[in-house]
Amino acid sequence: MKPPSLLGSACFLTTALAAYDQNRGGAVLKAPDGDSFTSVTGTFTVPSLVGTAKLSFWVAIGDSIKQDIVLKGGVIFDKTYSSFAAWFPENATDTTSAAPAKASDSITVTVSLDSDSSGTVVVENTTQKKKSTQSLKAPANIDPSRLTALTADWFVQAYQANGELVNVPKFGTIAFTGCSAKLKSGNVVGSTGAGTFEIQGTSGQIYTKTTVSANGVSLARTSM
């Protein structure tokens, strides 16, 4: 699915928020009351990473600000790079064979809902001209009333290892560009008005600085 074109901002209102999370940084756009998202897209360049710390970059449709049920796709670094599609909390599907990734590659991710209980995740490596299209079913044993689509998400996520504190690699700056989201009402919006998430350590240290523009979300790794 190609990224939809952007409509005027006058048709869309949202309330920005700011929050802190122990392992995620990025931006979350809330749907207007009475509306929901049907697709979300964004493009990023894979950073050069080394070491054992795990890090992922993804675009998603979330059930709510709580992010309990999330249809997403992107790239993960875990000693090597791989691409994935997932409908969290189900396990991710590795899509690397169709859409490999390496440092400096440009990746465009589009997630879309085909129905309340089925979705599609497209991960396209435009540098290598390779693409994965993955059809997914909603997580099993989830109350259908919880399968909402009230947020559009652009995130960088760090991870814990063996119960240790979250390790946030120095990834420089990650810029999600071409950020747009289509609403069930038919309107298409950019990332303006999205609230930001910053990765915050247990001792209060802030690891990211997120900025939002009309159709972009940028995360800078702080020097801490």
- The CATH code of the domain that includes 99 is 2.60.120.700
Cβ pair 53, 207 in contact under 8 A: no
**Dist. CA 213–CA 132, nearest whole Å:** 28
The boundaries of the domain holding residue 212 are: 9-221
116 within some domain: yes
The vertex-50 CA angle with 46 and 56, nearest 5°, equals 45
The vertex-65 CA angle with 190 and 213, nearest 5°, equals 25
1 within some domain: no
87 within some domain: yes
Cis amide bond preceding 3, omega within 30? no
Question: What is the full per-residue pLDDT of the chain (224 aa) written as tens digits?
Answer: 222 222 222 222 234 556 888 889 999 999 999 999 999 999 999 999 998 889 999 999 998 877 788 999 999 999 999 999 999 999 999 999 999 999 999 999 999 999 989 999 999 999 999 999 999 999 988 888 888 999 999 999 998 766 666 788 889 999 999 999 999 999 999 999 999 999 988 778 899 999 999 999 999 998 65
3 within some domain: no
Among 67, 20, 18, 51, which Cα is nearest to 201's? 20
Among 41, 34, 33, which Cα is nearest to 14's? 33
Cβ pair 153, 26 in contact under 8 A: yes
What is the reported pLDDT for 166? 72
What radius of gyration, in Å, describes the C-alpha atoms of the chain? 16
The vertex-24 CA angle with 174 and 40, nearest 5°, equals 65
What is the reported pLDDT for 11? 26
4 within some domain: no
Among 88, 75, 155, 74, which Cα is nearest to 121's? 74
Among 46, 156, 54, 61, which Cα is nearest to 99's? 46
Q: What is the mean pLDDT of the chain?
A: 88
Q: What is the pLDDT of residues 114-143, one digit of tens each?
A: 998 999 999 999 999 999 999 999 998 888
Domain count, the chain: 1
2 within some domain: no
- Which 3-state string (H, E, C) describes 14-69? CCCCEEEECCEEEEEEECCCCCCEEEEEEEEECCCCCCCCCEEEEEEEECCCCCCC
